[in-house]
Structure 1
Amino acid sequence: MRLTAITAALSLTAGAALAEGVAPDDVSYSDYGEVTVSLSGQPGDATRGREIFANKSQGNCVSCHAVTELADVPFHGEVGPILDGVGSYRTAEELRGIVANAKMTFEGTVMPAFYKTSGFIRPGDGYTGKAAPDDLAPILSAQEIEDVVAFLMTLQDS
């Protein structure tokens, strides 16, 4: 009986920790930049990920990447690769790592780290021109990263 109570308590504690997700500084990247565990502990919502991807005030991914499925969104960029079919040749783990911090996969990339809060060189504090007093908030939340990854996984070759 006592062992069952302890096991139940540990399960609840582990479940609560997983539900909170992984903090930006605690993300574990493989040697090739993959992130194998969900950052939020929840599955991504591809519909929401599409919105984040296309929204200029959120992910703003479409400003650098073209995606045929998003033909209704104007002004696709040409800085990054076209992402048509990316779900066919990248795994969710690879995409999660790239969206969270692309520099872990592509060292010299100009793609921003969407789930990073520290380690910047004198980041600005808004538009004041002064260095930020503390770590910055991530551009996207853990769940938003999962949502974008879910959307990218829907982009399959026909």
Structure 2
Amino acid sequence: MSVPILAGALLALPGGGAAQEPGSYSVVGDAIPEPLTNARGDAARGRALVVERSSTCILCHSGPFPEQKFQGDLAPSLAGSGSRWSEGQLRLRLVDASRLNAATIMPSYYRVGGLNRVGTLWRGKPILSAEQIEDIVAYLVSLRE
């Protein structure tokens, strides 16, 4: 199923504003099989993003990050994520986890349209860029154990 988003399409926001939607992507089953960018992600940059508190990953997830004393326990460990999910499945979980679980507390890190309860500073903007999503996917897919 192709998400009806055109690169550069404008979305109406509550209050009359408009937001630029990120590029288009296609959801096939439980995955986004094609990368969001033309370049492969960089696993080292992805790891740095995952352990950076501002990305919020380790606020909920734990994983193989021995240098991080405080890691979340609300969500599954990221250890072995590359063995549990495909690259496309990981990509969909980052882009829009609510497609897999409508009750998830995981934010949509890339999709901006049709969301509720979005903080004022984040309305109409993805939390992560397409490049950052691909970097994190490259890192998570490398975690095999």
TM-score, scaled relative to structure 1: 0.73
Aligned pair partner of 2:76 in 76, 81, 88: 81
**What whole-Å deviation, never above 9, does each CA across 1:56-112 have from its counterpart, x for those lacking one?**
12x220110010x21101310011011211101210010001011111122221100
Report what 1:52 is aligned to. 49
Quick one: distance in 2 between partners of 1:85 and 1:31? 22
**Which one is further off, 116-125 or 145-154?**
116-125
Report what 2:139 is aligned to. 151
Aligned pair partner of 1:64 in 43, 60, 66: 60
Give the structure with the larger helix fraction: 1
Backbone CA RMSD of aligned residues: 1.9
Quick one: distance in 2 between partners of 1:122 and 1:113? 12
Gaps of 5+ in 1: 1-16, 18-22, 127-131
SS at match of 2:110: coil
The Cα of 1:125 is off from its aligned counterpart by 1.6
Which structure 2 residues correspond to residues 92-111 of structure 1 after superposition, within 5 A? 92-111=87-106
Quick one: distance in 2 between partners of 1:122 and 1:92? 28
Matched, 1:30 2:31: no
Computing the radius of gyration from Cα coordinates, the structure with the larger value is 1
Gaps of 5+ in 2: 1-6, 8-20
Q: Number of aligned residue pairs: give it.
A: 126
Any conservation in 1 of the 2:110–2:129 contact (CA below 8 Å)?
Answer: yes
Quick one: distance in 2 between partners of 1:35 and 1:72? 31
TM-score, scaled relative to structure 2: 0.79
**Which one is further off, 112-121 or 144-153?**
112-121
Report what 1:14 is aligned to. none
Give the structure with the larger strand fraction: 2
Any conservation in 1 of the 2:59–2:71 contact (CA below 8 Å)?
Answer: yes
**What whole-Å deviation, never above 9, does each CA across 1:36-60 have from its counterpart, x for those lacking one?**
1110121010000001111112x22
